[in-house]
Structure 1
Amino acid sequence: MTRGTKNNGGRMSRGSRRLVLTALAATLLAGVAVPAVATAGSTAVPKAAAGQKRPELQKAIQAMVDSGLAGVQMRAHDQRGEWVGSAGVSKLGETGKPPTDGYFRIGSATKTVTATVVLQLVAEGKVGLDGQAADYLPQFGLDRRITVRMLLQHTSGLFDYTGEHYPDGKVVPGIPWQGKEWVDDRFHTYQPEKLVRFALSKPARFAPGTAWSYSNTNYVLARLLIEKVTGHSYTEEIRRRILQPLNLQHTLAPGTSPEIPEPHAHSYYRYQDAGQQKAVDVTRQNPSWISSAGEMISTTQDLHTFFSALLGGKLLPPALLAEMRKPHSTTVPKMGYGLGLQVQKADCGSTVLFHDGGVQGAGTLMYSTPDGSRTMEAAVNYVDGVNAPVGTYQKEVQKLVDTVFCGR
């Protein structure tokens, strides 16, 4: 699931586990049809460069597989050049490794793209960063204290339509995104407006601007704001403002299409059914349930191009890029959240900017130094749900970050 950290004193919560533990590699059971929203040009992904031998990086991703994942594909850029590699398997029961040029669902890394488009509208004077969100979306009757900034930094207090866990142990369910109910209904189409209205039917977590809590509702509202201000669909604006200028030919916003282009790895989900555990390939799913908070599909090469361009100042003016990278004071300790970006210190003290993401059985890692001189993009595929390898995987992610950004 594509979620973030809940404020629980820095412990890894249900939300953060899902954010880091999910979002990537995808599969198609019968022939792949590239969705109509794909960018212009060939859909064939260029083969990743053979690169250099980096045994420490290969060892790090193999450790992730050994922690219980099915497979990992990764790309890293630093002063020594580019390295690409993979470990594990693309599909359970087979021996082929995940393709290093493969497509995958990037989950909440989509939020960085969505936030970038909103900030471009701010730069154009069409949206006020500290303007009231209700002025742009009057149909929802939003609390007038909620600003556009609060949506992007998760300080609005709005209920997360995928459900909430509260510090006192109370759980308020949201739309189905796990268990047998989700598996049986994973091709259902959700309308963004209905997701928002469902969230607004629940009590807010806190008064706007007084605390921090990761909520996908914020980024569905950001999508609707983009559409209201521009008069164009979210997909059109993503393509016009991000994909086409950067020539991201292998990145798309699939909307309601369950398909994913070849090549790709496979994602799985294990659940309980009448007392029995069952596992199913869930690579094909309708991503409308996560919408602009996590629906996009990309490759490690395209993510590298996008993140490098963003941090290099090619997509936003300096002042707004600085705002994007500035953590809010109420953000979870050690997981500083800015505007669609997170800021964290590696164990060696190096600052890294990132946004992980995930959907069921797939995870994405997108990391960079502030100047973009060292980057890492990775995608994992695994068996999610019952007995998912959460704890050990988290440790291996931290080790991977330290290997890439601390030279360990």
Structure 2
Amino acid sequence: MLTTVPFVLTAALLAPAAPATTDPVRTVAQEAVSAGATGVQIRSVRDGHFRTVTAGVSELDSRKPLSPTGRFRIGSTTKSFVATVTMQLVAEHRLGLDTPVERYLPGLLPHGNEITVRMLLQHTSGLYNYLRTISLAGTDLEKVRYQHFSPEQLVAVATAQPLDFPPGSKYSYSNTNYTVLGMLIERTTGHAWGDEVAKRILRPLGMHDTTVPGDRTRIPGRHAHGYQEMNGKLVDVSELNPSVAGAAGEIISTTADLDKFVEALATGRLVPPALLGQMTTPRSAIDEYGLGLQTRTTPCGIPVFGHTGGIPGYGTVAFTSADGKRRVEASLTLGRGPDNDTFYALIDKAICA
């Protein structure tokens, strides 16, 4: 996920499983609100039939319910879009997975001859995560909330620090990897990464409610408000300049649009099967991250892939079974939580329901 917003583990997540007669998707939505989310909207799909569930409110101090079609910031779920475009360029023989970044972006990275495109995609480059310096947690957000950041600035923050480990030796989630991938897409195509996402994914799939906002601070159209705790109070952080996230977490979308995306991925409409297989294969048995996609085996034994996302005020889930027949997308507008376990409980209950 993009940010390190503090989460709270609550007893609701540790409660015994709900009785079989209850609705597990609605139950997990209510549990998320009990765990600190202001509101939750969930879209779940099975065998072509979808349903939507909401819980909580769209704005504090109101009784206004969430719209199941409202927009939200998807945070690091953006990475799966950037990874998809990257893999399309690999399929077109315009990028090589095991080619050093130095060949495409000479002089950008001090260890550019050792760091490959594959390492960026799977977070094994060792690049320092710039968000360890540019903090978005708590009151730190107010220092940078409306500030413009260029990709070059973000990479410079990261490369001012030593590598966390030798390239390729370990896994460690770093938003810097996807900032560099965005720059790679631009260098290779001659177009900004967001324009390539729109050209290759959004327009072909009819994702009309999905945008790459750049420096635009407002979420367009109907949307729930997101909050962050600052000095013991919940502050509305729905408006911010998402350039601090960029190719690592900038996109705004809806659950219906995200469903179009993960279904198209699973059914081979975006990436050739051999390359999708690499995207959904973790580096090792203990990792859950492939090339731009997180993988998970649910309690009912159904393997899924997709991506979670976090950016101040918002948390996102977008996962599909390998055959595309079971899918779940959700937005949690955050208050004082919830814990990451809520995201995984949501995936598991929606897929296995």
For the pair 1:200 / 2:156, whether they are aligned, the reply is no
Which residue number in structure 1 is paired with residue 119 of structure 2? 150
Counterparts of 1:405 and 1:317, CA distance in 2: 25
Structure 2 residue matching 1:348: 3-state secondary structure: coil
Q: In the alignment, is the contact (CA less than 8 A) between 1:268 and 1:282 conserved in 2? A: yes
Structure 2 residue matching 1:206: 3-state secondary structure: coil
1:256 is displaced (CA, Å) by 1.0
Structure-to-structure mapping, 1:294-313, within 5 angstroms:
294-313=249-268
Equivalent position to 1:81, from 38, 49, 54: 49
Give TM-score scaled by structure 1 length. Answer: 0.79
Which residue number in structure 2 is paired with residue 69 of structure 1? 37
Structure 2 residue matching 1:244: 3-state secondary structure: helix
Counterparts of 2:75 and 2:122, CA distance in 1: 17
Q: In the alignment, is the contact (CA less than 8 A) between 1:133 and 1:142 conserved in 2? A: no
Which residue number in structure 2 is paired with residue 340 of structure 1? 292
Counterparts of 1:406 and 1:182, CA distance in 2: 37
For the pair 1:369 / 2:321, whether they are aligned, the reply is yes
Q: In the alignment, is the contact (CA less than 8 A) between 1:361 and 1:381 conserved in 2? A: yes
Moved >4 Å (runs of 4+): none
Moved more, 134-143 or 295-304: 134-143
Counterparts of 1:290 and 1:397, CA distance in 2: 21
Structure 1 residue matching 2:351: 3-state secondary structure: helix
Which residue number in structure 1 is paired with residue 15 of structure 2? none
- The runs of 5 or more residues in structure 2 that have no matched partner are 8-21
Counterparts of 1:239 and 1:396, CA distance in 2: 31
For the pair 1:249 / 2:208, whether they are aligned, the reply is yes
Structure-to-structure mapping, 1:7-406, within 5 angstroms:
55-79=23-47, 81-143=49-111, 144-163=113-132, 174-272=133-231, 277-329=232-284, 333=286, 335-383=287-335, 388-390=336-338, 393-406=339-352
Counterparts of 1:299 and 1:205, CA distance in 2: 35
1:229 is displaced (CA, Å) by 0.7
Aligned residues: percent identity? 42
1:56 is displaced (CA, Å) by 3.1
Counterparts of 1:404 and 1:61, CA distance in 2: 10
Counterparts of 1:348 and 1:61, CA distance in 2: 19
Kindly provide the amino acid, as one letter, of the partner of residue 148 in structure 1.
V
Structure 2 residue matching 1:253: 3-state secondary structure: coil
Structure 2 residue matching 1:309: 3-state secondary structure: helix
Counterparts of 1:195 and 1:212, CA distance in 2: 20
Cα RMSD after superposing both structures? 1.7
Give TM-score scaled by structure 2 length. Answer: 0.91
Structure 1 residue matching 2:99: 3-state secondary structure: coil
User: CA 1:181/1:397 → structure 2, altered by over 3 Å: closer, same or farther?
Assistant: closer
Structure 2 residue matching 1:176: 3-state secondary structure: coil
Which residue number in structure 2 is paired with residue 171 of structure 1? none
Kindly provide the amino acid, as one letter, of the partner of residue 202 in structure 1.
Q
User: CA 1:232/1:59 → structure 2, altered by over 3 Å: closer, same or farther?
Assistant: same
Counterparts of 2:32 and 2:233, CA distance in 1: 24
Counterparts of 2:110 and 2:276, CA distance in 1: 27
Q: Count matched residues.
A: 338
Cα deviation per residue 1:256-292 (whole Å; 9 max; x = unaligned)? 11011121000111212xxxx3432100000011110
Moved more, 234-243 or 193-202: 234-243
Counterparts of 1:55 and 1:349, CA distance in 2: 20
